[in-house]
């Protein structure tokens, strides 16, 4: 499933051709994805101008001139692809419709945005913009890891007294938004903390660096266009490249990249997910 860097990469790709542009025509080609589309979604979107395109955790939020906000979740295989881009960065010709093109936005500037999702685990909904932050999908999400609200004091306070493994705590969206399996594995490697360490065994001197390390891992991934493992594509259809820079994720049996470390990357299962780490330099 796309994590924060992948969703942010898609948002940044869409913003230049969607923000301050009217949706001339919206097409909804099926009644549902992960859950049913809102009633009359195509009609409610047609004619609306996208005032701002934001990201909250793993959701893209398009604030509309109608007072509604379009919530988009890419799911496991969802893609938002651009064609006919008037800025000239992507292909000019619109491709032929594909089987899994479930929602299509014809923009007034000539661009076409197609939501393609073979597995149909993605989702869209229309929220009242004024109350969107209180929506059940958004209300309990923790601070954005790249924001000032996510800081050393906050993380120390939120982790205090917990007895869960540190990896499980960082995957908790109520503690910090948008982190998933890949980037927690990579952050813990850079912090030299084992994913099986229980939070209550960590010293403040070990927790404090996690904030800047998490930010750096995410920033590096966004700069590389995210990670493409199976289905992820950027809005221009290109792959992300951060997977070529993984230190531990997916590298079971490979040598540790820490200078002077003779360890081999191992894999364990935690809460049904694979955790990759170096047993020698992550303690």
Is 279 an annotated catalytic residue? Answer: no
Counting residues of the chain whose pLDDT is more than 90, the rounded percentage is 81
Question: CA 58, CA 81: separation in Å to the nearest integer?
Answer: 17
Q: Distance between CA 44 and CA 172 in Å, rounded? A: 34
Contact present, 213 and 145 (Cβ < 8 Å)? no
In tens, the pLDDT along 212-239 reads 999 999 999 998 888 755 555 566 666 5
Residue 86: per-residue pLDDT:
66
Sorting pLDDT into bands at 50, 70 and 90, what band is 173? very high
- Contact, 71 vs 108, CB < 8 A? no
When the pLDDT of each residue in the chain is averaged and rounded to a whole number, the result is: 92
Exactly one of 44, 208, 215, 273 is catalytic; which is it? 273
Q: Residue 245: which pLDDT band, with cuts at 50, 70 and 90? A: confident
Element (H, E) at 195: none
In this predicted model, what pLDDT tens digit does every residue of 61-120 receive, in sequence order?
999 999 999 999 999 889 998 888 666 655 557 778 789 999 999 999 999 999 999 999
What is the per-residue pLDDT for 190?
Answer: 97
Q: What is the pLDDT of residue 92?
A: 55
Rounded to whole angstroms, how far apart are CA atoms 248 and 155?
Answer: 24
Query: Tell me, what DSSP letter sits at residue 276?
Result: E
The model's pTM is: 0.91
Return the closest-CA partner of residue 274 out of 251, 258, 244.
251
pLDDT band at 271; cut points 50, 70, 90: confident
Q: What is the DSSP string of 211-239?
A: HHHHHHHHHHHHHTT---SSS---TTSPP
Contact (Cβ atoms closer than 8 angstroms) between residue 226 and residue 2? yes
Distance CA 197, CA 5 (A): 25
Q: Count CB-CB contacts under 10 A for residue 223.
A: 12
Of 58, 158, 167, 251, the active-site residue reads 58
Specify the pLDDT at position 242. Answer: 75
Specify burial of residue 235 (Cβ count, 10 A radius: 0-12, 13-18, 19+): buried
pLDDT of residue 131: 97
Q: What residue ranges define each of the domains in the chain, with the CATH number in brackets? A: 4-134 (3.20.190.10), 152-277 (1.10.8.50)
**Residue 203 among the catalytic residues:** no
Per-residue pLDDT tens digits for 8-39? 999 998 999 999 999 999 999 999 999 999 99
Q: Is the pLDDT of residue 275 over 80?
A: yes
Whether 63 is catalytic is no
Percent of the chain with pLDDT over 70: 92
pLDDT at 76: 87
Q: Is 192 marked active-site?
A: no
Which of these is catalytic: 3, 6, 68, 186?
Answer: 3
What is residue 241's predicted lDDT score, i.e. its pLDDT? Answer: 59
Write down how long the chain is: 283
In sequence order, the 6+-apart residues with CB closer than 8 A to the CB of 111 are 17, 18, 21, 82, 83, 84, 85, 86
Q: Which two tokens stand for residue 61?
A: 């939020």
């Amino acid at each position: 499933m796309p994590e924060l860097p992948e969703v942010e990469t898609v948002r940044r790709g869409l913003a230049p051709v969607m923000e301050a542009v009217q949706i001339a025509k919206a097409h909804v080609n099926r009644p549902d994805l992960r859950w049913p589309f809102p009633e009359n979604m195509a009609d409610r979107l047609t004619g609306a101008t996208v005032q701002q395109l934001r990201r909250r955790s793993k959701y893209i939020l398009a604030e509309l001139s109608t007072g509604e906000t379009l919530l988009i979740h890419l799911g496991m295989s969802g893609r938002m692809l651009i064609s006919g881009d008037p800025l000239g960065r992507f292909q000019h010709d619109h491709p032929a419709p594909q089987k899994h093109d479930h929602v299509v936005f014809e923009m007034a500037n000539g661009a076409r945005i197609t939501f393609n999702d073979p597995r149909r685990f993605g989702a869209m909904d229309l929220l009242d913009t004024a109350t969107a932050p209180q929506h059940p999908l958004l209300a309990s999400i923790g601070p954005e890891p790249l924001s000032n609200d996510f800081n050393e004091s906050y993380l120390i306070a939120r982790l205090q007294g917990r007895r869960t493994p540190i990896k499980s705590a960082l995957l908790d969206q109520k503690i910090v938004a948008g982190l998933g399996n890949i980037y927690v594995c990579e952050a813990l490697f850079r912090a030299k903390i084992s994913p099986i360490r229980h939070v209550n065994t960590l010293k403040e001197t070990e927790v404090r660096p996690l904030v800047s390390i998490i930010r750096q891992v995410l920033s590096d991934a966004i700069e590389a266009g995210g990670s493409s493992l199976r289905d992820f594509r950027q809005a221009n259809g290109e792959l992300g490249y951060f997977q070529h820079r993984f230190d531990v994720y997916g590298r079971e049996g490979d040598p540790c990249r820490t200078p002077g470390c003779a360890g081999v990357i191992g894999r364990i299962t935690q809460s049904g997910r694979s955790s990759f780490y170096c047993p020698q330099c992550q303690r």
